[in-house]
Structure 1
Amino acid sequence: MPVEEKPVVPQTYTQDQAYDASLKYFKGDDLAARVWVNKYALKDSQGNIYELTPDDMHRRIAGEIARVEKKYPNPMSEDEVFELIKNFKYIVPQGSPMAGIGNPYQVGSLSNCFVIGNDGNSDSYGGIMKIDQEQVQLMKRRGGVGHDLSHIRPKSSAVNNSALTSTGIVPFMERYSNSTREVAQDGRRGALMLSVSINHPDAEDFIDAKMEQGKVTGANVSVRIDDEFMNAVKNNGSYTQKYPVFSKEPKFQKDIEADKLWKKIVHNAWKSAEPGILFWDTVINESVPDCYADLGYKTVSTNPCGEIPLCPYDSCRLLAINLYSYVEDPFTDKAQFNFELFKKHIGAAQRIMDDIIDLELEKIDNILAKIDADPENEEIKAVEKNLWLNIRQKAYEGRRTGIGITAEGDMLAGLGIRYGSKEGIDFSVDIHKTIALAAYRASVDTAKERGAFSIFESDREKDNPFILRLKEADEKLYYDMLEYGRRNIALLTIAPTGTTSLMTQTTSGIEPVFLPVYKRRRKVNPNDKNARVDFVDEVGDSWEEYVVFHHRFKEWMRAKGHDTDKNYSQEELDKLVKLSPYYQATSNDVDWLSKVKMQGAVQKWIDHSISVTINLPNDVDEELVGKLYLEAWEAGCKGVTVYRDGSRSGVLISNEEKKEEEAETTGGNFPLKRPEVLTADVVRFQNNKDKWIAFIGLVDGRPYEIFTGFADDEEGILIPRWVNEGYIIKARNEDGTSRYDFQYENKRGYKTTIEGLSHKFNPEFWNYAKLISSTLRHGMSIDNVVDLINSLQLDSESINTWKNGVVRALKRFIADGTVAKKEKCTNCNSSNLIYQEGCLTCKDCGSSKCG
């Protein structure tokens, strides 16, 4: 009798096993190990982990790429692909491709970016709701989504329904934002970009929408600005807004002062880092896919971080080249860049990207099969099914790819070139020109073997500025493209590489190093004989302070013979940095105008766009922001994001509300009249085995009031453990007395209100809370408030316990003696955040979010 084979049960690992093995793989880099295990290790919905280290993941990806390669002539083997992607050294599939390729446990897309929209620019309620449904369906498959609102008629326009007039754009911004917040993607929220043309009569309302507290918090917003508007700004002229936008026969139009609206954009960006700006004529004129606009490839919006402008229902997959790995003998006099190996690997990367499109088409077929198998009514499934059919058609026709880079800052440092210098800009331009020529050459060579993308017509592209630059740089490439076509409609980008750069252990994307060395604090048990206690805080907690070196800065130290294990003083660290190629080359050091010029120069060799952030100190004025925007337009940038340190923190209020507050402010800036609604942080902690909760109301990211008491018991406040933020609302009881309510959003997006914080807490706690809140409202610094509370002589043991709790809650807002930014990591609650490439990234856990 034949022996019956037992089914092979795949090996599974515990979280600790995967973490320990990955920690060894990343040579002790805790952050890289945790990011990989949490985000990219293959796991099922029950949390079973099937990969021990990134080597297993890279084998999985290489096997799938090799399977596709076998369909075509001259295939790469699995080992060849593995050698290119292993150790995150050369070629790094980003995000969705890394997590999804060869993943049998997840029915999802491999695309990182999508744009959706309505054919015929429909602004009916049906059309608007269809977009809402499509957005949610994409986000549940892990994609970031963008769409444009310029087709929605302006407010007060006539409509043929019971409302009689349109509500305009802003209510729909809020609808789409709320939908984004409802959708969880493997523990993270969706990402959304909303855009509108400056030509739309509601553009100013759009620009102001996020300045009102708690509004449109689930979306990034960008304004599509045309050259006519920019020229009107430069010449202090007027500008005509129309609906439909740019119509020769508009239903509505109005003339505005361009400079006045421009100053509103600049002010809001200075105040809150939004709106972003898209220089739309540059986007369209430079776009190769827009040569096929009449075939459905007219660009209408971008993905959430702005680096991929897309037509409706097109998508893109991302991959990064690790530039640092091509620097031979880094940080020495022999350092040089290996251009030959670089060009060879770009060709392989473009081929791999084309293979990933085939894998994406398989993934979409799996999604469609799942939709068909779902027991829901066909009418309910129709929107989702048609969405994916449209996306499949665009992916099949255009075969769009998104090759980008990471480690630009480390590459320059390794070569001894200062980021932001003329030499640095010139070398970066050479790098990106090389990428463009090598990637387009690979796409032409792939077209010889596999065929061109199905709608390719060389005549359509003959006047495109980007294609003409390729022709000028490499005529043979251009004429081969005329003869054989090209495999992909567009190829290049510079996308955010937050978690990617953590695993490559390099600087992120095109950005400079954020800091080459910085300090972290770690809480320790003072009874542990091996613990080093550097200081004890006011509530008795012991802390160790330790230095964190940027990985490649540490490599520079070794190359120059410096001890990497020594416990350096701050003075010694400053001297080290001054000796290194990272000196005056951090994100806060680089000359802002130089960075804009660099972005414009590099943009000439990227057919999509660039996600990059201009970081500014808190004390810059609005005029500088406007100057940078104008320079970006003139330099040829397609978009620009400016982030002033601390500008995303706190309550954002409208100009009218701000004027009212300023009018009622006395004694300089304090005390502020209390707004009716404050954003609030929720802080939980334990004192003497009692559970406590604090509600900290904030103004501009600064504590304005604090309510603290027992939590999770019969006398306290019970709210879900996952709630860490919300709003404190000043309300009135029926007898006219005031009360303070706490409101938060549940996981379905509905608001839940807990009435009367003052009645939930012990009256003695409440009275002291009012006293402490008064000192906060009058502008006393947080550290001084903490000192004041600690100095209070209180008899009751419970009130002393409460006092310690207030101190612990407020100390979260002190960072090195200053007030910390309000924004905290939604994953680990850390305030150690940086803003790069349009994304907020946590330096403690690696979590990142756009917007």
Structure 2
Amino acid sequence: MTEKTAQQINLSFADKNPSTEVITDQKIESKSEKKIFSFEEALEASLEYFKGDALAARVWVNKYALKDSFGNIYESTPDDMHKRLASELSRVEKQYSNPLAFDDFYELIKDFKYIVPQGSPMTGIGNNFQIASLSNCFVIGHKGFSDSYGGIMKIDQEQVQLMKRRGGVGHDLSHIRPAGSQVLNSALTSTGVVPFMERYSNSTREVAQDGRRGALMLSISIKHPDAERFIDAKLETGKVAGANISVRIDDEFMNAVVDGTMYKQQYPVKAEDPSYSHEIDARQLWAKIVHNAWKSAEPGMLFWDTIIKESVADSYADVGFNTVCTNPCGEIPLCPYDSCRLLAINLYSYVEDPFTDMAKFNWEKFRMHIGLAQRIMDDIIDLELEKVDAILDKIVSDPEDREIKQVEISLWENIKRKAVEGRRTGLGITAEGDMLAALGLRYGSENAIDFSVEVHKTIALEAYRSSVELAKERDPFPVFDIKKEKDHPFINRLAKEDPKLIEDMKKNGRRNISLLTIAPTGTTSLMTQTTSGIEPVFLPVYKRRRKVNPNDKEVKVTFVDEIGDSWEEYNVFHHNFITWLKVNDMDPEEIKNFDDKELKELVKRSPYYKATSKDIDWMQKVKMQGEIQKWVDHSISVTINLPTEAKEELVGDLYIKAWESGCKGVTVYREGSRTGVLLAKGNKVDEKIKFPTKRPKELNADILRFKNNDEHWIAFVGLIEGKPYEIFTGLKEDDTFPIPKNVSKGKIIKHKLESGEKIYDFQYIDKYGYKVTMGGLSHQFNSEFWNYAKLISGVLRHGMTVVDAVHLVSSLHLDNAFINNWTAGVARALKKYIVNGTKAKTGQKCSECSSSNMIYQEGCLLCTDCGSSKCG
């Protein structure tokens, strides 16, 4: 990039073209010049826009409509948003030759038909009310090797600073010394990676923006001696709940698994002469990984040698583009301080005459739009650089001491430098499942795989062609050097398909270091009303419930709940299943009244039959991912959904198949496994666990530490089968609770004194392996707390679910503020044990959209309609 171009990128807000529809600083100061819509007005208008799709309308208003920091809404429908995006893109284009105009962009992005900027770009482009990044994902880390406390704390601060500006973050822990390693401080030995996993996880849980919680990926090399501890860290209820975890698996380990040989772990993991090493049975550790993934859907697998070998950006590792981790969903492997923005092409929209014998794919339009999509991605980088400058200006102007904010300043300066040097993009797709169904191809079949591969090969060729053309007009990314890429397998694949493309690249360079990904498109697919990302349809027909007045006419009461409310179940169809119905002259309104048997017969006749996430051939899905991965220079976010009864051996077989097929990573989800061992069904007691009403002599216990109204509190939770059986909590005083901070587990032991008095002691293992007993746990707290503790423990022991116990405790509003603080502490501690997916108590509504569809997720209330999350 030339100095002139770099200066052009750093446009100030005052330089904006006054003829565009961009919100200027002057307009921000005088909000009366721009109409403010109430939530109800925007929802009603959006409901009409989405043709009655209430979920899409609510999600758009809550997440993507233009808002200021006070929650005022300035757009009533997505059409307003698309005009905002087109206006900003056309403004940026004016700094280059042959700029595209407003109408060019608007026709591409309106109605979510062809090109959809994802997440942060959709929210942040043209929004000068809020200072936030347009990047969806970041990776942070150390440029060199560092496992000092200073370095570890620096990473903690950096991830929080990124999350508060909407970014998902990933970082690798392979640089941290394994447990027991000698350190040159008063601790003498290292605690290993697990305590720092918990620290980073807790920091993530503290961050929330507009109902959007922080997202974190933690990874570790399988070569690290603490890899097994890392793998086990999330099995304990409530631990490391704020992070996804993945293991970086190398080819040496996979070969050892296949061949049944030993594998060497060492620290440092890349050292030729490591300070510590030992050999392990690869198959034993493999069995642990497979078991944990089968049981809890984690860890994910990152096939690291494949990632590095196939990463075009790693050709530039010598200038700082060495990949170290991925973003939280795994689709973007990145070097330290690099970031990426996401954009999806709606594949379904290129199918003409869908669901008919005349159905065909418009390749000409598709190729043209890929080139334009890559151009939009490059424009978004310029917009992001403006945003980063605004963030830096904001930080510098804040009244905080420079010493306090220096880490944040350096963080964003590093991110800006990487964005300028590499200009990385994340061009992807959505609606793969609908595209195949519309063409009459069954997802996972050989014909469908062949067609999908051709689609993604075309994306790769046309996106790289566009990047070469952009380099000719706008200069290549500054560190571009074709000699570094001459032996790269991905570049060689492009050269084999199109030799002229590579010749042009040698002559003109390339605008972007890496270009392609396939990300999850959850809310994006709600907007496009299609299947998500590369995934098949989840279900073409499913059921929802709504509360009804039984006295109303034409109301069909399906069941009455335990408090007397009446509910109606009704059928909901996937949007393009409705399209198929209409094409085949069937009335969706009539079919909504079909019974289950009739609906099953109808689905059998559709192109979605045997093509849902639950019933496709799993091995074929892995094969499809591997074949497509050859044409994606980043990675693919995809989940293999397995039924509850799937065996552990199948998980292992799928992992090996994924590695052999050339996948860069894979996640397996067995239905019901995310919550651990057992599923909660509504708010009913799980019949598989029956607590003994007579308290056992010893109970395993967790220690939970937290702040309550700026006071330090501690809770001891006795457990049976991982579920709360009793709880003691109160203010923590160092003289009464001399327990090391790194101790999080122990036992609560009940026994009788000679006087006949019952007493509860707490016992834990210290770092030297000795048992330490703290006598009289029951007498450490305020006596009033003890009485209430017996009450709560009693209801837990007799089968009340954790969620109901939380509601009971939360409802105790007494005149004594001290006791009310205690009830808040108990509720906060118990929430950590609420099974993910458990429905909230009837009557609780979302504060954002008023929906009653509230579930607990990692101790927080999550609205399944709008995605808003509330912790407390």
One-letter amino acid of the structure 1 residue matched with residue 47 of structure 2: L
Matches within 5 A, 1:213-612: 213-529=237-553, 531-566=555-590, 567-612=593-638
CA distance in 2, matches of 1:755, 1:845: 44
Deviation at 1:535, TM superposition (A): 2.6
Deviation at 1:668, TM superposition (A): 9.9
Per the alignment, in what secondary structure is the counterpart of residue 758 of structure 2?
coil
| C-alpha distance 482-371 of structure 1, shift in aligned 2 (>3 A) | same
Aligned with residue 108 of structure 2, among 84, 96, 108: 84
Per the alignment, in what secondary structure is the counterpart of residue 453 of structure 2?
helix
| C-alpha distance 426-530 of structure 1, shift in aligned 2 (>3 A) | same
Structure 2 counterpart of 1:71? 95
Give per-residue Cα distances to partners, 1:325-357, cap 9 Å, x unaligned: 001010111101111101111100000000000
Aligned with residue 641 of structure 2, among 596, 611, 615: 615
- Say if 1:290 and 1:298, in contact at 8 Å, map to a contact too: yes
Deviation at 1:404, TM superposition (A): 0.6
CA distance in 1, matches of 2:444, 2:347: 17
Deviation at 1:540, TM superposition (A): 2.0
CA distance in 2, matches of 1:393, 1:286: 24
| C-alpha distance 630-404 of structure 1, shift in aligned 2 (>3 A) | same
Give per-residue Cα distances to partners, 1:387-434, cap 9 Å, x unaligned: 000000000010000001000000001111100111111111111001
Q: 1:736 aligned to 2:758?
A: yes
- Say if 1:498 and 1:841, in contact at 8 Å, map to a contact too: no
Structure 2 counterpart of 1:625? 651
CA distance in 2, matches of 1:578, 1:668: 36
Deviation at 1:188, TM superposition (A): 2.1
Structure 2 counterpart of 1:647? 673
| C-alpha distance 89-518 of structure 1, shift in aligned 2 (>3 A) | same
- Say if 1:418 and 1:582, in contact at 8 Å, map to a contact too: yes
CA distance in 1, matches of 2:750, 2:656: 48
One-letter amino acid of the structure 2 residue matched with residue 600 of structure 1: G
Per the alignment, in what secondary structure is the counterpart of residue 615 of structure 1?
strand
> Over aligned residue pairs, what C-alpha RMSD do you find?
3.3
Matches within 5 A, 1:736-755: 736=758
Deviation at 1:323, TM superposition (A): 0.5
One-letter amino acid of the structure 2 residue matched with residue 283 of structure 1: I
CA distance in 2, matches of 1:540, 1:577: 35
| C-alpha distance 232-588 of structure 1, shift in aligned 2 (>3 A) | same
One-letter amino acid of the structure 2 residue matched with residue 619 of structure 1: E
Deviation at 1:649, TM superposition (A): 1.2
| C-alpha distance 59-347 of structure 1, shift in aligned 2 (>3 A) | same
Structure 1 counterpart of 2:810? none
Give per-residue Cα distances to partners, 1:498-519, cap 9 Å, x unaligned: 0000110000000000000011
CA distance in 2, matches of 1:699, 1:65: 58
| C-alpha distance 92-698 of structure 1, shift in aligned 2 (>3 A) | farther
Give per-residue Cα distances to partners, 1:783-827, cap 9 Å, x unaligned: xxxxxxxxxxxxxxxxxxxxxxxxxxxxxxxxxxxx997456996
| C-alpha distance 590-756 of structure 1, shift in aligned 2 (>3 A) | farther
Structure 2 counterpart of 1:711? none
One-letter amino acid of the structure 1 residue matched with residue 63 of structure 2: K
CA distance in 2, matches of 1:211, 1:627: 22
- Say if 1:331 and 1:415, in contact at 8 Å, map to a contact too: yes
One-letter amino acid of the structure 2 residue matched with residue 607 of structure 1: D
Give per-residue Cα distances to partners, 1:598-640, cap 9 Å, x unaligned: 1000000000000000000111111110110000000000000
- Say if 1:154 and 1:202, in contact at 8 Å, map to a contact too: yes
CA distance in 1, matches of 2:143, 2:33: 48
- Say if 2:303 and 2:664, in contact at 8 Å, map to a contact too: yes
Per the alignment, in what secondary structure is the counterpart of residue 565 of structure 1?
helix
One-letter amino acid of the structure 1 residue matched with residue 35 of structure 2: Q
| C-alpha distance 730-331 of structure 1, shift in aligned 2 (>3 A) | farther
Structure 2 counterpart of 1:748? none
| C-alpha distance 450-699 of structure 1, shift in aligned 2 (>3 A) | farther
Matches within 5 A, 1:102-121: 102-121=126-145
Per the alignment, in what secondary structure is the counterpart of residue 233 of structure 1?
helix
Gaps of 5+ in 1: 654-666, 681-695, 708-726, 741-752, 783-818, 835-839
One-letter amino acid of the structure 2 residue matched with residue 586 of structure 1: T
Count of residues in correspondence between the two structures:
737
One-letter amino acid of the structure 2 residue matched with residue 353 of structure 1: M
Per the alignment, in what secondary structure is the counterpart of residue 172 of structure 1?
helix
Deviation at 1:529, TM superposition (A): 3.7
| C-alpha distance 242-762 of structure 1, shift in aligned 2 (>3 A) | closer
- Say if 1:306 and 1:611, in contact at 8 Å, map to a contact too: yes
Which has the larger displacement, 434-443 or 820-829? 820-829
One-letter amino acid of the structure 2 residue matched with residue 28 of structure 1: G
Aligned with residue 216 of structure 2, among 192, 195, 217: 192
CA distance in 2, matches of 1:99, 1:621: 42
One-letter amino acid of the structure 2 residue matched with residue 736 of structure 1: K
- Say if 2:217 and 2:245, in contact at 8 Å, map to a contact too: yes
- Say if 1:649 and 1:823, in contact at 8 Å, map to a contact too: no
CA distance in 2, matches of 1:598, 1:756: 62
Structure 2 counterpart of 1:800? none
Deviation at 1:534, TM superposition (A): 2.6
Deviation at 1:766, TM superposition (A): 8.9
Matches within 5 A, 1:675-694: 676=700
| C-alpha distance 332-93 of structure 1, shift in aligned 2 (>3 A) | same
Gaps of 5+ in 2: 1-26, 680-686, 705-716, 728-744, 763-780, 804-833
One-letter amino acid of the structure 1 residue matched with residue 568 of structure 2: E
Deviation at 1:675, TM superposition (A): 5.8
Give per-residue Cα distances to partners, 1:702-755, cap 9 Å, x unaligned: x98799xxxxxxxxxxxxxxxxxxx9x989799536799xxxxxxxxxxxx999
CA distance in 1, matches of 2:642, 2:761: 40
Per the alignment, in what secondary structure is the counterpart of residue 223 of structure 1?
strand
Per the alignment, in what secondary structure is the counterpart of residue 359 of structure 1?
helix
CA distance in 2, matches of 1:649, 1:619: 15
| C-alpha distance 60-755 of structure 1, shift in aligned 2 (>3 A) | farther
Aligned with residue 53 of structure 2, among 29, 37, 52: 29
One-letter amino acid of the structure 2 residue matched with residue 17 of structure 1: E
Deviation at 1:247, TM superposition (A): 1.2
| C-alpha distance 697-562 of structure 1, shift in aligned 2 (>3 A) | farther
| C-alpha distance 739-355 of structure 1, shift in aligned 2 (>3 A) | same
CA distance in 1, matches of 2:114, 2:867: 21
Deviation at 1:533, TM superposition (A): 2.1
Structure 2 length as normaliser, TM-score? 0.80
Deviation at 1:437, TM superposition (A): 0.5
- Say if 1:820 and 1:831, in contact at 8 Å, map to a contact too: no
Deviation at 1:575, TM superposition (A): 1.0
Identity %: 65
CA distance in 1, matches of 2:678, 2:605: 42
Structure 1 length as normaliser, TM-score? 0.81
Give per-residue Cα distances to partners, 1:51-77, cap 9 Å, x unaligned: 010000011110000000111111111
| C-alpha distance 90-700 of structure 1, shift in aligned 2 (>3 A) | farther
Aligned with residue 65 of structure 2, among 21, 37, 41: 41
- Say if 1:403 and 1:494, in contact at 8 Å, map to a contact too: yes
| C-alpha distance 284-414 of structure 1, shift in aligned 2 (>3 A) | same
